[in-house]
Amino acid sequence: MNSSLMLSLTTFVYGLAAFLYIVSWVFKKQAVGVLATGTSVAGIAANTAGIIMRWVESYELGIGHAPLSNLYESLVFFSWTIVIIYLVVERKYNDRIIGAFSMPLAFLAIAYASLSPNISDRIQPLIPALKSNWLIAHVITCFIGYAALAVAFGISIMYLFKEARTSGKSFLLDRFPAPAVLDELNHQMIMFGFLFLSIGIITGAVWANSAWGRYWGWDPKEIWSLITWFIYAALLHARLTRGWHGRRVAYLSIIGFMAVIFTYFGVNLLPGLHSYGQV
């Protein structure tokens, strides 16, 4: 059993968990929901084991480093944080429908890592630019932020569905939490995500200053993280003004998460980008 196999297994388990949450929501089967939670817990155990095994394997290869150094490893960690944050929310608010909107995101992230032919799952040695203690702090805080904002994205979609059907009965929506609860939960997740996004940008800036001599260089990745930060900062302030509760905040949260995704993947598509390893 190696880490790649373990993480492929995790992909399958997360896929199953996402499916079970959706079944439990659509067919209103409490028992299936409990099974979904159990599956998620098994998935997080496999995911954790996979990350630890990969860490150990990198030491066995003589190039030991934390498994947070490339796209594959970051995606694996991304889905790990999404599931952890979701499970905490599920426990605290005792609601499993959110799982139908969060677990698919965790599944997609790890499935993209495992199945995309463009993403190598080989353990590679660290390039000089990444050899720093800031690597772990920077990547972990960024992805905690991203994961919380991903869950907020799922909750915002739920809010928009629920809010659109306030009158009459809807088979699928009547067991959703009340709009006010979703709005509050969305806000909680965004505050948590925004804090960690800020810490992620800050650790990145401090690291950049120790590696390249400037804490801010208007690099496309930096700019997009700042754009994301601006959007969520605007959202947090918009919420304080009249008429900007609920629906508009949910839209902003969705736009904000699009910016997160673009910061994560899209920046590679932009022209004139320097890659971190370039000499």
Partner 1 sequence: MALLYYFNRSWKFFSSIKLTVVLLLSLAVTSIIGTVIPQNKNYIIYFREYGEFLYGIFNLFDIFDMYHSWWFQLLLLLLAINIVVCSIDRFPATWKIVAKKSMFDVSRFRRLSSKEEVTVNRSPAQLIEIYKPFIAKVFGYCRVEQTDEGVCVFGEKGGWSRLGVYTVHLSVVFLLFGGLIGSIFGFEGFVNIPEGEKTEYIRIKNAEKRYRLDFEIRCDDFNVSFYDSGSPSEYRSTLTLIEQGKPVLKKDIIVNDPLRYKGINIFQSSYGMLPPEDVALTFKNRETGMEYNKNVTVGREFDAPENIGKFIINDYRKSGKFMGHDIGETFTGILTRNTGSPVEIILPLRFPSFDRMRNADFVVSITDYKSRYYTGLQITKDPGVLVVYTGFVIMIAGCFITFFLSHQRVCIDIIANGPASRVVVSGISNKNRLGMQQKVKQISKNLARLALTA
When binding is defined by CB under 8 A, the residue of 170, 215, 245, 251 that contacts partner 1 is 215
* Least spacing, CB of residue 172 vs partner 1, in Å: 24
Q: 113 or 249, CB closer to partner 1?
A: 249
Q: 119 or 233, CB closer to partner 1?
A: 233
Taking alpha carbons only, the member of 149, 250, 261, 266 closest to residue 197 is 149
Stretch 62-81 residues interacting with partner 1 (CB under 8 A): 63
Q: 60 or 168, CB closer to partner 1?
A: 60
If one asks whether residue 194 binds partner 1 (CB under 8 A), the answer comes out as yes
If one asks whether residue 254 binds partner 1 (CB under 8 A), the answer comes out as no
Which among 45-53, 102-110, 143-151, 198-206 is the span making contact with partner 1, rule CB under 8 A?
Answer: 198-206
Q: 38 or 266, CB closer to partner 1?
A: 266
Size of interface with partner 1, in residues (CB under 8 A): 51
If one asks whether residue 116 binds partner 1 (CB under 8 A), the answer comes out as no
When binding is defined by CB under 8 A, the residue of 30, 167, 213, 275 that contacts partner 1 is 213
Q: 49 or 227, CB closer to partner 1?
A: 227
d(CA 99, CA 77): 18
Handedness of CA 70, 19, 173, 170 (dihedral sign): positive
Contact mark string toward partner 1, 221..250, x via CB under 8 A: --xx-xx--xx-xx--xx-xx--x------
Which among 29-37, 73-81, 162-170, 178-186 is the span making contact with partner 1, rule CB under 8 A?
Answer: 178-186
Secondary structure of the chain as H, E, C letters: CCHHHHHHHHHHHHHHHHHHHHHHHHCCCHHHHHHHHHHHHHHHHHHHHHHHHHHHHHHHCCCCCCCCCCHHHHHHHHHHHHHHHHHHHHHHHCCCHHHHHHHHHHHHHHHHHHHCCCCCCCCCCCCHHHCCCHHHHHHHHHHHHHHHHHHHHHHHHHHHHHHHCCCCCCCCCCCCCCHHHHHHHHHHHHHHHHHHHHHHHHHHHHHHHHHHCCCCCCCHHHHHHHHHHHHHHHHHHHCCCCCCCCHHHHHHHHHHHHHHHHHHCHHHHCCCCCCCCCC
If one asks whether residue 57 binds partner 1 (CB under 8 A), the answer comes out as no
If one asks whether residue 211 binds partner 1 (CB under 8 A), the answer comes out as yes
Cα–Cα–Cα angle for 191, 193, 194, rounded to 5 degrees? 65
List interacting residues with partner 1 (CB under 8 A): 63, 124-125, 127-129, 131-132, 181, 184-185, 188, 191-192, 194-195, 198-199, 202, 205-206, 209-216, 218, 220, 223-224, 226-227, 230-231, 233-234, 237-238, 240-241, 244, 259, 267, 270-272, 277, 279
